[in-house]
Amino acid sequence: MPSPTRFLALAALFFCRPPQSSRPGTRGFPTRPPPTLTTPSPTTRPLSRPRWARSTRRSRPRLTRRRTPRWRLPLSPPSTERLPTAQSPTSASTRRRRHHQKARAFGPGDGVAKREAGKFEKVFDGLPADQHDASIQGTAYLTYTVVNNATYNVQGCLDWCSTVKGCVFVNVYYEFNNYLLDFVFGEKSNLKCAAYGDFHTAVEKINFGGQASYPQDGNETVPLTYITQSSGWRLDQDEILAPETPDGYELVFGPTGGANNAPGYMGFSFLDKYDVDACALLCNGRGVDSNGGGCAYFNIWRAVVDGVPTTYTCSMYYLAADESTAVNYGQGSLVVTLSRGYARKSAIIDGGFEGYTACDKFCVTESYANWIGSSASNGVADASIIFNPTYAHTGHGAALLGAAFSDDDEAGMLTPAQPLQTDKGANYVVQCFVWSGFASPGVEAAAKVDILWNGERVGGSSGYTEEYTFVQAPVVATGSDKLAFVGGAAPAWTFIDDCKVYKA
pLDDT in tens, 389-426: 999 999 999 999 999 998 899 999 999 999 999 999 99
CB 482 within 8 A of CB 455: yes
Domain annotation covers residue 51 = no
Alpha-carbon dihedral angle through residues 77, 78, 79, 82, given to the nearest 10 degrees: 80
Selected residue with higher pLDDT from 81 and 268: 268
Domain annotation covers residue 81 = no
Q: In this predicted structure, what is the pLDDT of residue 5?
A: 40
Q: In this predicted structure, what is the pLDDT of residue 269?
A: 96
Burial (Cβ within 10 Å: 0-12, 13-18, ≥19) of residue 306: exposed
Q: In this predicted structure, what is the pLDDT of residue 217?
A: 83
CB 279 within 8 A of CB 271: yes
Q: In this predicted structure, what is the pLDDT of residue 415?
A: 97
Q: CA separation (Å) from 84 to 79, 94, 97, 465? A: 13, 11, 11, 60
φ, ψ for residue 164, nearest 5 deg: -95, 120
Q: In this predicted structure, what is the pLDDT of residue 141?
A: 95
Q: In this predicted structure, what is the pLDDT of residue 498?
A: 97
Q: Where among 192, 210, 239 does a domain terminate?
A: 239
Domain annotation covers residue 354 = yes
Mean pLDDT value across residues 258-278:
95
Q: In this predicted structure, what is the pLDDT of residue 262?
A: 96
Instruction: Tell whether 357 and 334 lie within a shared domain.
Output: no
Residue 233 has pLDDT above 70, yes or no: yes
Q: Where among 239, 260, 290 does a domain terminate?
A: 239
Q: Where among 239, 255, 288 does a domain terminate?
A: 239
Domain annotation covers residue 61 = no
Q: In this predicted structure, what is the pLDDT of residue 29?
A: 54
- In which band, very low, low, confident or very high, does the pLDDT at 112 lie, cut at 50, 70 and 90? low
- In which band, very low, low, confident or very high, does the pLDDT at 103 lie, cut at 50, 70 and 90? very low
Residue 107 has pLDDT above 60, yes or no: no
Q: In this predicted structure, what is the pLDDT of residue 239?
A: 57
Instruction: Tell whether 124 and 180 lie within a shared domain.
Output: yes
Mean pLDDT value across residues 45-70:
35
Instruction: Tell whether 353 and 320 lie within a shared domain.
Output: no
The 3-state DSSP class for residue 26 equals helix
Domain annotation covers residue 230 = yes
Instruction: Tell whether 93 and 176 lie within a shared domain.
Output: yes
- In which band, very low, low, confident or very high, does the pLDDT at 38 lie, cut at 50, 70 and 90? very low
Q: In this predicted structure, what is the pLDDT of residue 17?
A: 29
CB 303 within 8 A of CB 63: yes
Q: In this predicted structure, what is the pLDDT of residue 31?
A: 43
Instruction: Tell whether 289 and 337 lie within a shared domain.
Output: yes
The CATH number of the domain holding residue 380 is 2.60.120.260
**CA pair distance 262, 343, nearest whole angstrom:** 13
Instruction: Tell whether 354 and 479 lie within a shared domain.
Output: yes
Q: CA separation (Å) from 360 to 9, 356, 389, 397, 459? A: 16, 10, 10, 11, 34
Can you give the residue range of the structural domain that contains 368? 349-503
Residue 320 has pLDDT above 50, yes or no: yes
- In which band, very low, low, confident or very high, does the pLDDT at 299 lie, cut at 50, 70 and 90? very high
Residue 497 has pLDDT above 50, yes or no: yes
Instruction: Tell whether 277 and 191 lie within a shared domain.
Output: no
Domain annotation covers residue 12 = no
- In which band, very low, low, confident or very high, does the pLDDT at 118 lie, cut at 50, 70 and 90? low
Instruction: Please name the residues in contact with 359: beta carbons below 8 A apart, sequence gap of 6 or more.
Output: 387
Q: What does pTM read for this prediction?
A: 0.77
CA-nearest of 157, 162, 171, 167 to 119 is: 162
Domain annotation covers residue 301 = yes
Instruction: Tell whether 396 and 468 lie within a shared domain.
Output: yes
Q: In this predicted structure, what is the pLDDT of residue 104?
A: 34
- In which band, very low, low, confident or very high, does the pLDDT at 40 lie, cut at 50, 70 and 90? very low
Instruction: Tell whether 266 and 409 lie within a shared domain.
Output: no
CB 447 within 8 A of CB 462: yes
Instruction: Tell whether 304 and 357 lie within a shared domain.
Output: no
Whether residue 46 is preceded by a cis peptide bond, meaning omega within 30 degrees of 0, is no
- In which band, very low, low, confident or very high, does the pLDDT at 377 lie, cut at 50, 70 and 90? confident
**CA pair distance 494, 463, nearest whole angstrom:** 9
**Domains in the chain: how many in total?**
3
Residue 86 has pLDDT above 70, yes or no: no
Strand locations in 204-290 (E): 205-207, 226-235, 249-256, 265-271
Instruction: Tell whether 95 and 235 lie within a shared domain.
Output: yes
* Percent of residues, the chain, with pLDDT higher than 70: 76
Instruction: Tell whether 124 and 204 lie within a shared domain.
Output: yes
Residue 470 has pLDDT above 60, yes or no: yes
Domain annotation covers residue 369 = yes
Selected residue with higher pLDDT from 142 and 86: 142
The 3-state DSSP class for residue 232 equals strand
